[in-house]
Amino acid sequence: MVATNNIGGSVAPGWEKVRDAFVANFDGEEIGAATAVYHRGRKVVDLWGGSFDAEGTRDYTEDTLQLVFSTTKGITAIAVAMCVERGLLSYDEKVSTYWPEFAAQGKGDATVAQLLSHQCGLYTVDGDISLAEALDWNTITARLAATAPLWPIGTQHGYHALTYGWLAGELVRRVDPAHRSLGTFVQQEIVAPVGGELWIGLPESQESRVSPMVGGLNTMDDSNLDPAVKAMMEQFMGPNSPGGRALSLNGAFSVDGAFNRRDVHAAEIPAANGITNARTLARIYAATIGDVDGVRLLKPETVERARTKVTPENEPDACLIMPTTFGMGFMVHGMFSLFGGPGSFGHPGAGGSVAFALPESELSVAYVMNKMATNLANDVRAQTLANSAVECAGAASR
C-alpha cells in the first residue's frame, strides 16, 4: 500500500515512477485526483489522493467518483465501434441510412465516419436552446437532425464539444436491436462485462460519491492582458465564437456550476458527463486492445480502423483553432492530444482528465481530477503521468 500525504492505492514493482509523478502533482495545485494504469491486461497502478472538495471536508478515496467531461467521448467511440464490429453500423455508410431524419438541411450524404471525426458542421444547433431542452434526449437529437451544417460537410473539421455525444449516441440507439440509450448500452455492453463503475446518466443513489468540479475553463484572470490579446481571445473562444458556441451549446451550459448539478449528472450527455474513476477507464481501454480477465471488447482490426487518423494533416480545427487529430470518434496522437506517443488513441477531458490506450506497448492509462486547469487538453499533470507510464512500460518490455 502507498500512503504519502493522503495518497492511497497500489503500485506494482517497476511502476514506481508513475507513483512519484502522481505524488509530485500534489506539490502544485492538485486538490483531489486518481490515476490507473493497465499493462498487458493487468492493473499495475491504482492510486488516489487529496481532498474530495475544495474545502477539504473529506478525503478523495478509492470510492470517489468523478465527472470526466470529454474523456466520455472515448467511451462513446468504443460503443460505436462495437456496433460496427457487430455489423449494425458501417463507418462508410450514410448517417441517414440509420437515422432518416438526419438527411434534413442537405445532410443526406454525410457518412458515419464524417460525423465521428467532427466534419459535419454540427457543433451546435440552429437557434436558441435552454439547458432543460438540451438535457432531453428526444429534443436535442431532433434539433440536431433539423440543423443545417455550418460548413459543407467534409470540407473541414471542428470540435463538436457537446453535440458529438448525442449524434453518436442516437446512431447507437437507432441500430441497437433493443433500441437502448447510449448510457444503457455502455452499462450493459461495456461496464458490466469489463467490470468497474461508469455511468452516462448517473443514478441518484450514486450522487453523494461524486467529487465536485473546482474551477473551469473560464476562471483564468485576463484583467492584465493586453487589449489586443483579449480581443483575439474573444474572437476565437468568446461566447459567440465557434469554440464558445460549441462548448456551451449556444449558451445552454453557461450556467455557473452546470456540471455539478444533479439534473446534468442524471441526463445522458455522451460527449461530456461520464462519471467514473480512473481504474474503470484504464480497465475499459485495456479491454479494447487485449484480454482483461477473459474479456476483450474489440478485435484488433476494429481498433486499427478506429485509431487511424482521418482528419487532414495540420488542418486547423474550426472550433479550437489549432490542429486536432481524429479517428473514428477517438482523438489520436497529435499536437493537441499527445497521450503516450504515436499509435495512442483515446480522449482528453476539459480541465485535465484523460484516458487512452497504446496498443504497441499493451498499455492503457487514465487520470481523473476535481481541480480543473484552464486548458482543454495536454494537462501537465496528466501528461507527466502518461510519460511516466510509457517509460515504465518500455522498461518492462526490455
Residue type, 86: R
Integer Cα distance of 352 and 37 in angstroms: 16
Instruction: Report whether 319 contacts 243 (CB < 8 A).
Output: yes
Instruction: Report whether 132 contacts 184 (CB < 8 A).
Output: no
Instruction: Report whether 79 contacts 182 (CB < 8 A).
Output: yes
Integer Cα distance of 23 and 384 in angstroms: 11
HSE-up of 97 (CA within 13 Å, CB side)? 13
| Active-site option among 70, 248, 353, 361 | 70
Angle of CA points 250, 380, 393, to nearest 5°: 120
HSE-up of 214 (CA within 13 Å, CB side)? 16
70 is catalytic: yes
Which residue intervals of the chain are DSSP H helices?
16-25, 71-85, 95-98, 112-116, 131-134, 137-145, 163-175, 182-186, 192-194, 227-237, 242-248, 262-266, 278-289, 300-306, 380-397
Residue among 212, 183, 343, 195 at smallest CA distance from 281: 195
Integer Cα distance of 279 and 45 in angstroms: 8
Residue among 110, 105, 111 at smallest CA distance from 91: 111
Interior/surface letters 220-234, b for 16+ CB within 10 angstroms, e for the rest: eeeeeeeeeeeeeee
Three cell numbers, residue 1 = 500500500
> Which contiguous run of DSSP H or E holds residue 34?
strand 32-39
Where in the sequence numbering do the catalytic residues fall?
70
